[in-house]
Amino acid sequence: MANRFTTFPESWWAYMPKPFKLLSDDLKALEAIVAAGGSGTPAGTTFTGIANGAAWPAPWTPGQIPSGASMTVQSEQGQLATGSTVGNYSSADGASARYTSQVADFTATFTFRRVGSVHVRFVARCNAQTLDPQDGVIVGLHGTSLGLTEVANYNYSSIATTPKTWSTNVDYKVKVAMTGTTVQAKSWLATDAEPGAWDVSGTTTRTAAGHLGFWAGCDAAAASQIALFDDITITTA
């Protein structure tokens, strides 16, 4: 879609009356919606300029933070550090960052990095604030695949999956879209251009609004593991 809004140099607005400055801010907000490719309201999050150890900024809040886990900003990225008590892939060690609003239809884009063998999920339409769902849709970003999974009353059913390599300490971009029964996702190296096609696509019966966010879990070892996130945009329908 062509951008129909004209962007003027920042220096021009310094000399304009306040009403014109407010108009400039409104146009920038509209440009962000157009750039996001949606008609809804985009909520963008970056961590630039935030001190190490600080909390994630709004609209993000802790979901599940067990003993030994944390949800903080580190090196200008959002960090989830898992618990280290149980190990053996236990959800009890999982740490999650939750979007404050419940949503049904949306498009999400973000950058993430695995530090070690951490298990990473993007969870949506979830009934639980912890993002460890009894019901919901999971986008799995670990192992050797990119997968979509529906959870209904704790029963996990694969929607679609495709082979994918997730190297450690490498930044990946992810895009997820959910509209009605349709669920789609794709991922690519952050240094590459976004591909046109979706990697995985399918349908789900889980269409109600629910909690949304990121979940990180440990593998067999009872040791804290880290996932990093940045450049997060959630555009609701």
Predicted TM-score (pTM) of this structure = 0.81
Q: Which residue range forms the structural domain that includes residue 80?
A: 42-236
Residue 138 inside a domain? The answer is yes
**Cβ atoms 166, 172 nearer than 8 A:** yes
Q: How far apart are CA 187 and CA 113, in angstroms?
A: 12
pLDDT at 11: 40
Residue 33 inside a domain? The answer is no
Residue 70 inside a domain? The answer is yes
Give CA angle at 91 (183, 47), nearest 5°: 65
| pLDDT beyond 50 at 9 | no
Of 26-35, 53-62, 111-120, 167-176, the range with the lowest mean pLDDT is: 26-35
Give CA angle at 18 (13, 21), nearest 5°: 40
Residue 214 inside a domain? The answer is yes
The closest of 79, 122, 119 to 103, measured between CA atoms, is 122
pLDDT digits (tens, 9 = 90+) for 175-206: 999 999 999 999 999 999 999 999 999 999 99
Longest dimension (CA), the chain: 62
Residue 193 inside a domain? The answer is yes
Residue 108 inside a domain? The answer is yes
Residue 91 inside a domain? The answer is yes
Q: How far apart are CA 89 and CA 85, in angstroms?
A: 11
Put the strands of the sheet holding 211-217 in their side by side order. 60-62, 95-99, 211-217, 119-126, 136-142, 145-152, 155-163
Q: What is the CATH number of the domain that holds 104?
A: 2.60.120.560
Question: How many independent structural domains does the chain possess?
Answer: 1
pLDDT at 176: 98
Residue 6 inside a domain? The answer is no
